[in-house]
Amino acid sequence: MDVRTLKEYETLSPFEIKDFLIKAALNTSKAASITYLNAGRGNPNWIATEPREAFFLLGQFAITESKRVLDLPAGVGGMPKAQGIADRLEGWLRGHRDSPGARFLEKMVPWTVKRFGFEPDKFVHELVDSIIGDNYPVPDRMLVHNEQIVHEYLQWAMCGNPRPQGTFKLYAVEGGTAAMCYIFKSMKANRLLNPGDTIALGVPIFTPYLEMPHLEDYDLKIVEICAPQENRFQFTDAELEKLLDPTIKAFFVVNPGNPSAMALNDETIQKIGGILKKRPNLILLTDDVYGTFVPGFRSLLGAYPRNTIGVYSYSKYFGCTGWRLGVIAVHDNNVFDEMIAKHPEPIQEKLGKRYGALTLEPRKLKFIDRIVADSRDIALNHTAGLSLPQQVMMTLFSVAEMMDEKKSYQQACIDIVTKRVHSTIEGLGIEVQENPNFDHYYGLIDLEFWMRKYVGDDVVSWVKANVHPLDIVFKLAEDHGIVLLNGGGFAAPDWSVRVSFANLNDDVYDDIGRAVRAVARGYAQAYQLATGKTVNVARRAADGTVTKAR
């Protein structure tokens, strides 16, 4: 595809360009009888089975509880009752012990009751009544038992060690997508971010964080805090020093990164702490969807809970993108409530009017509860909240992970993506150092970086002068039937591509690596034809060293 045509796609998100790539790749696959491979999607091709088995079996018990109260011939049942329900579930499970999910439920209920000090009937009734879905979510922010369970799960999944003191208030939402929308909306409504304000983004970053600030709704200015590949995708000191600018109101981070797949290391987290000592009211937002793929992961939420809004989604780890399960976390002791309380009187009056229908003392309304209300445009706050069956699934996923003391499920998931990464690297024919902060979920292949290393600066300079960066993903689609996303759309290097190691079978990733290498080889050959110069290709020796060869 010529440069002029490719320029037309420059304004599109990678996720919109993907649709054109899919069409081209499907045509190639059909015409050339080759396999169509879409590694642009982050949807995992595995699921967590045990908590799902428990969910569907629990639903069967819930129906018996409904019919126990009312069972009309027309198919009308009643609402499950709490008294004695834990004993009834225990007895019912004894009679269904061979059913998938029964043994998990038999262990899960007493384990959870003991761990959290729950009253058995109240806990089981929350599960049963919620899986039926016969009530509105109450409390609207999150069910009582579910919040305590997820709070403990997030201490492992996000916070890490040392465990932060105090308590987080949680809002169960429809995945990380909803979390982003609700947070942006409420930060604007509460004048924490105003049109014309400046925020910082840790880049590369998930594209909506680049796109949403420019919407007329928010009209925010962006400063990019870069984590270069040369620094193993950690923020440099010079980049972090940008955060000392008092006009920057907030710093948004995806950790581990998307598309870099690299978690912040301890040194970087400590440096951000140094920034907060000088700027104690700097707002941090951390989106930690992939943290569970890094053993010992540590989030900014765990390190600096006072300044941080946490976003977590269950989608990737448990293979449940269709369930739409996410959480917003805000610590009890936070800068957001303090900043809202310090607004001048005219703003306080406007906010009082906004939230006045919800409480007699709107000025005391916590930021997390404002997010809930804003998510339903205030007037529908009384029907806010994540659907109750979704919250039951969230409970079961969380408890399943906490009961797994050996972390067998976590290791199995990590093994899946790690194997695929190694296959891709083998296909690429490059040498990559291991990194304990790498989550292996995505990979960012920077052709400029690797071509500079293996074929030299002259080739890279010629390619950048004569080829459009989007040519890479279109060549992969048109010549190889492969869909990857362009890295430039994530504020990653223009000559990079993002590959997902989550959504395709193990045996195709070496093919993807070879296809990317073939595209790079084609550029080197084009350079030779255009210049008449010979390209000296670096070879990788058995010991990993790189030498030049003809």
Residue 358, CA distances (Å) to 183, 187, 295, 384 in order: 19, 18, 42, 12
CA distance 154 to 156: 5
Q: Where do we find the tokens 């993002």?
A: 498
- How buried is 399 (Cβ within 10 angstroms: 0-12 exposed, 13-18 middle, 19+ buried)? buried
Using a CB cutoff of 8 Å and minimum separation of 24, what contacts does 93-96 make? Answer: 93/61, 96/57, 96/60
- Each domain of the chain, given as residue ranges in start order, spans 3-42+409-549, 49-135, 144-402
- Per-residue pLDDT tens digits of the chain, which is 550 residues long: 778 889 999 999 999 999 999 999 999 999 999 999 999 989 999 999 999 999 999 999 999 999 999 999 999 999 999 999 999 999 999 999 999 999 999 999 999 999 999 999 999 999 999 999 999 999 999 999 999 999 999 999 999 999 999 999 999 999 999 999 999 999 999 999 999 999 999 999 999 999 999 999 999 999 999 999 999 999 999 999 999 999 999 999 999 999 999 999 999 999 999 999 999 999 999 999 999 999 999 999 999 999 999 999 999 999 999 999 999 999 999 999 999 999 999 999 999 999 999 999 999 999 999 999 999 999 999 999 999 999 999 999 999 999 999 999 999 999 999 999 999 999 999 989 999 999 999 999 999 999 999 999 999 999 999 999 999 999 999 999 999 999 999 999 999 999 999 999 999 999 999 999 999 999 999 999 999 999 887 654 444 444 444 3
Q: For strand 248-254 and strand 283-287, is the pairing parallel, antiparallel, or unpaired? A: parallel
CA distance 52 to 56: 6
Q: What is the CATH number of domain 49-135?
A: 1.10.20.110
Q: Name residue 474's amino acid.
A: F
Q: Name residue 543's amino acid.
A: D
CATH: 3.90.1150.10, 3.40.50.720, 3.30.300.180, 3.40.1480.10. Which one for 3-42+409-549? 3.90.1150.10
CA distance 238 to 220: 23
The per-residue DSSP string of 64-100 comes to HHHHHH-EETTTEE-----TTHHHHHHHHHHTTTTST
What is the third-level CATH fold of 144-402?
Aspartate Aminotransferase; domain 2 (3.40.640)
Q: pTM for this structure?
A: 0.95
